[in-house]
Chain A
Amino acid sequence: MISLIKNELTKIFKKKSFYIVMILTFIFIIAMNIILKNLANDDGMQYSIDYGAEAEFYEEQLQELDPNNESEQEIYIEYKTALEQMKLFEKYGGMSSWKYTIINNQVRPILFELVSHEVKNDTNSDVYKENIERYNTLIERFDKDDWRSFAQEELDDVNTQLEERNKLKDDITDKISLSNIEYEIFDLTLQKQVLEWRLEKDISYKMSDKNTLLNQYYTNSLDVRNYEDSNNQDDFFAKEQYRSSLELLNEAKYDIENDTTITNTTDARGILLDFFSQYEIFIIIIIVMIAGTIVSEEFNKGTVKLLLVRPYKRTTILTSKFITCIIMLIVTIVLIMTMQFVVGGIVQGFESLNTPAVVYNFDTNQMEEIPIFTYMLLQTLGKLPIYILLMTLAFALSTLFNNSAVAITLTLLGYMGSPMINQLGLYYNLDWIRFFVTPNWDLTQYLYGGIAQFEGLTPLFSIIICLVYFIIMLIPTYIVFKKRNIKNI
């Protein structure tokens, strides 16, 4: 048996096809790493807007409008405010500056007030003067480049609001109002947390990954709260959404608190951890190619006669071929993984790989640190059923129909169709779909307290379903191979 397996491996490694696909994969991996590296480096580039041109556009529009005409006044004010805003953006460097957010949130309302008053010739009022004053102080602070004062101001504001709400809360007995105020308090506490982080971790308003994380934490925390408050907790999609929010908010929290970038998917570590979604198709193509030809090619080229007149049972020969496929699957995964490890390290540097994998565990409700190697091993083991089942399908088809093309095409179609089957099942709420293989074969869905896409699936159930399909495919394969007559050419 061992010498049979050795021979099968020799046959595969003496063929060019394996190397060709491997080289193509290698080229793809290099390209992927370079592209992702460049994407990570020029964040925000695609947002660069020519504010000067924008300003000119509004100016042109304004010339055609009459501020004294009642019907056009409103739009005139709107455009004029926009024009002033664009001018500020142009002056302070637009989106790449921390002032962008402040201009949007704080300066714009003042500008609007000012413009309104000017258009209505109401420049003597106290409100106008007050606004002018506020505007000037804001610009003064802009020139000092002091974003912390803004954050501090915001924080103070939030704190006072929070105090107010807490006081109010004690006097409320009405249930609905109580829950409303509690929600407000929750929202304010979140804002407070974000602002405290902002000050503590020195995260300016400028567009940055950290800023995105703050935002991610805030919005997802609200989503989680909304779900917990809702009376729709059994809805599957809502639940899924909730779990995803829970994960995202915890990841953001971890990154902010620890000054890490575990959510970064474009560095060497990120691509490696994302390995299976990135390179799965290559693993499948290679393994299906091997499993889909290993039997039928020998029949088609007549070499099977050379193999069958040896002192081995036919079942032994077929088993050795199947075991060879499994060995090749593992070799392929390890090879591609190593390639990504090395290429990712060379292109983007190995430093990021020092950070362990960090995942949110739904059972313990905590972030869990896992060494990268262990994480990859668990992922691989969880994904193995997919590959083994697809491989078995190709193997069975190639043995039953003696046709490599049919075996490879049908298997790849099945792989591509599997998400569609799952979607259909979810969409039409088909209960029996859980007896189908595709919702069950990805065991990584159960890792770290995860739940399956479909209700009622457990790891044990999934493993049993996978085994049943596995055996159902292999039995006819063995019977046919054992009984097959070698036809005369």
Chain B
Amino acid sequence: MSELILKCEKLNKNLGKKQILKDVSIEVESGDILGFIGPNGAGKTTTIKLILGLQSITSGKVEINGYDITKNFTKAIEKVGAIVENPDLYMYMSGYDNLKLIANLYNNVSKERIDEVIKLVKLENRIKDKVSKYSLGMRQRLGIAQAILHRPNLLILDEPTNGLDPEGIKEIRELLKRLATKENMAVLISSHNLSELETFCNKVCIIKNGQIMETSKIEDVKKDNTNEILFIVDDTYESKKILPNINVIEDNKFKIQIKSNEEIPGIVKTLVENNIKIYGIREEEISLEEAFLKRTGGNVID
């Protein structure tokens, strides 16, 4: 039985007359890795700031580990680790000093724990250097280190891959995968790029213009994600007459959705019987992103 760690209920946020968030509800259970996806300006960072108590909530409720963030801030935030926007650390100090400052603020962080975390994020060689000499990727890793130092059960990462090259993104992804299993944390991770997250999230939540468009488990999405088969034929016009549910792409290409591959021979048979020449049949893989596009009926990446 997994327990509910983070619960956002109908969060609203107004800035002046402008409504930035509208009835945002998110739930994260232990063991979840929730991908929080949305284009720039959709309200991802604002939502995260409301969750962390960094901005005031217009209406709605945030509960972390059963504690209300506004009424019982210290209890609620105690087991949360976070990076918001950029990993803004004290540049004039070494990585180690930065971690020590954070460690001082908790009772349960020993020196051994600091060393353990440094090893976990693979910064042992550069930890004594000043943060101002770090690359962006190293700063992200140090940011993650400071977030997990006190063994939180909820880790909130705001665009941890922002500004990183593909190599860096891969590095961070590996690190997070390792952490989620090793430290057994619920993770909320935001990004504007779904493809970055699809390989290791088990839940996805899509936000657009301050509203949650879709929340679902990856398995669900994958489950009803039907296969598409691409046919290359001589005459799609004729094909359409015979098979009304095909999706014509070009003059000699069409796509058809099937529930299982067992349907393919039947389609082929029908086409052949109607004298349509088949030049090729190819299975088309749909990405998670396209699946979502289809489900939400809009363009996620603006």
Contact = CB atoms under 8 A, between A and B. Distances in A.
B86 A302 contact: yes
B204 to A, nearest CB: 23
A312 interface: yes
Interface centre among A303, A308, A311, by most chain B C-beta atoms within 10 angstroms, is: A311
Contacts of A7: 101, 104-105
A485 B52 contact: no
A308 B102 contact: no
A488 B105 contact: no
Interface stretch (A8-16, A54-62, A99-107): A8-16
Contact of A488 (B85, B89, B90, B106): B85
B287 interface: no
A305 interface: yes
Interface stretch (B76-84, B236-244, B277-285): B76-84
B74 interface: yes
Contact of B105 (A4, A302, A305): A4
Contacts of B93: 11, 14
Interface in B55-84: 55-56, 73-75, 77-78, 80, 82, 84
Contact of A6 (B82, B92, B104): B104
Interface string A309-342: 1111100000000000000000000000000000
A121 interface: no
A377 interface: no
B146 interface: yes
A56 to B, nearest CB: 69
Contacts of B55: 485-486
A308 B54 contact: yes
Interface residues of B, number: 31
A3 interface: yes
A489 interface: yes
B90 A309 contact: no
A306 B97 contact: no
A486 B77 contact: no
Interface residues of A, number: 25
A11 B53 CA distance: 24
A15 B73 CA distance: 31
A483 B57 CA distance: 11
Given A6-B104, A486-B54, A488-B46, A14 B85 contact: no
Contact of B88 (A6, A302, A311): A302
Contacts of B102: 306, 310
A309 B82 contact: yes
A313 B74 contact: yes
Given A306-B102, A309-B54, A309-B77, A486 B88 contact: no
B45 interface: yes
A11 B74 CA distance: 23
A175 interface: no
B54 A303 contact: no
Contacts of B75: 311
- A-B CB proximity, top 8 nearest: A302-B88, A486-B54, A485-B55, A311-B78, A311-B74, A3-B104, A305-B84, A310-B105
Given A14-B92, A308-B52, A486-B84, 15 more contacts: A4-B105, A6-B104, A7-B101, A10-B97, A14-B97, A302-B85, A303-B89, A306-B88, A306-B102, A306-B146, A309-B53, A310-B102, A311-B75, A311-B105, A485-B54
Interface of A: 3-4, 6-7, 10-11, 14-16, 301-303, 305-306, 308-313, 483, 485-486, 488-489
